[in-house]
Amino acid sequence: MYSLTINELTKEQFLQHYWQKKPLLIKAGFTDFNDPLSPEELAGLAMEEGIESRIVTNDGSWQCLNGPFEDFSALDESDSTLLVQAVDHWHPEASQLLEPFRFIPNWRIDDLMVSYSTPGGGVGPHLDQYDVFIIQGQGQRHWRVGEVNKNLRQFSANKGLLQVDPFEAVIDVQLEPGDILYIPPNAPHEGYAVAPSLNYSVGFRAPNQVDLMSAFADHLIDHDLGQPRYGDPELAIRSSQGQLHDHELENLRALMHQAIDDDSVFLRFIGETLSQPKHDKDLLPVEPAMCADTICDYVSDYPHLYKAGGLRALYITRDNAVILFVEGHSFSLPIEHLGAIQALCDQQSICTSQLEPALNCLLFRQTLSTLINEGYWYSE
């Protein structure tokens, strides 16, 4: 298990002074760091269908190739980088790198991207719209990071490869194994390998208004909601038929707000959307499937349950109920079982004894058997 040390800061001080505000170099954030996977394992993942991967090269001009790859002839001995997204979904040891960062709410954590670079390899100067922690693995990498600047011009260096204009660095450093960079949104940065290097990027989710509004519209359509129409029973004769009056604008705005302001609609939408999987997973469904009558025997046979890699699980409490959201599905349960649901959502592995008080409830047993049958939680 990895243990994070943020210089002399507490996690509360980091959130107060750095999170989404300014970059931070964390020297020896992980002491005695050991890579959880090898470059060869990373290359193996990049050959798999359904796993997002790229090779970026710069031999005078930037090139970006998308996987899966049958061979790695494009990965030169210099100026080349292999990047693989969501490695935490398929590599349990690598997924442990996310655990020290769970002082950030789980729903904000996106995935673990891993890159392997040959000397000189990188993706050029760029900025991200989300927070990221970059962990140095084997090798060394030279990084430059600038202050947050939302006005930097972005341009396409190659299809699918956005970069920014030159920037002034406030951090200019060569990272050693275990060193970590925190980079907030809109802070320009660039890193180039000094020696063959592995880097691990813990990225965070930051949906924008378009993402949320588009997903909300899809939710209304999928569930046959949002049917109320505009009405104007107080309509009166006006001097200009072409004018859209202020009160009509407000009525139209209110009609739209009405859908979002419906608490039951919005809660289901936001929970299902934020728990929706971004990538496929390597799940282990249970066969034959269990039912509510057999789940107690299963729990007593296995002392621990493990959350599938990259699984998104969150909950919302309302009145006398707790709504559990897992991979885009929702389950409503009595509030008295909040402790068991917290354990499922907060911990990557749990002692099944934590669930025993809730097993007296038929609805909880049915929910737990469904979650295990689907492979969202598994035992060993």
Predicted confidence at residue 157, as pLDDT, reads 82
Q: For residues 155 and 208, give the distance between their C-alpha atoms in angstroms, rounded to a whole number.
A: 20
Residue 380: predicted pLDDT: 86
Tens of each residue's pLDDT in the chain, 380 residues: 789 999 989 999 999 999 999 999 999 999 999 999 999 999 999 999 999 999 999 988 999 999 999 999 999 999 999 999 999 999 999 999 999 999 999 999 999 999 999 999 999 999 999 999 999 999 999 999 999 999 999 998 877 789 999 999 999 999 999 999 999 999 999 999 999 999 999 999 999 999 999 999 999 999 999 999 999 999 999 999 999 999 999 999 999 999 999 999 999 999 999 999 888 777 888 888 989 999 999 989 999 999 999 999 999 999 899 999 999 999 999 999 999 999 999 999 999 999 999 999 999 999 999 999 999 999 98
d(CA 24, CA 306): 33
- What is the rounded CA–CA span in Å between residue 272 and residue 324? 9
**Is residue 14 packed enough to be buried (19+ CB in 10 Å), middle (13-18) or exposed (0-12)?**
middle
pTM of the predicted model, to two decimals? 0.93
Contact 268, 329 (CB under 8 A): no
Rounded Cα distance, 370 and 363, in Å:
11
pLDDT at 2: 87
Longest Cα–Cα distance of the chain, Å, equals: 79
**The one-letter amino acid at 197:** S
Which of these, 183, 125, 127, lies nearest to 157 by C-alpha position?
Answer: 125
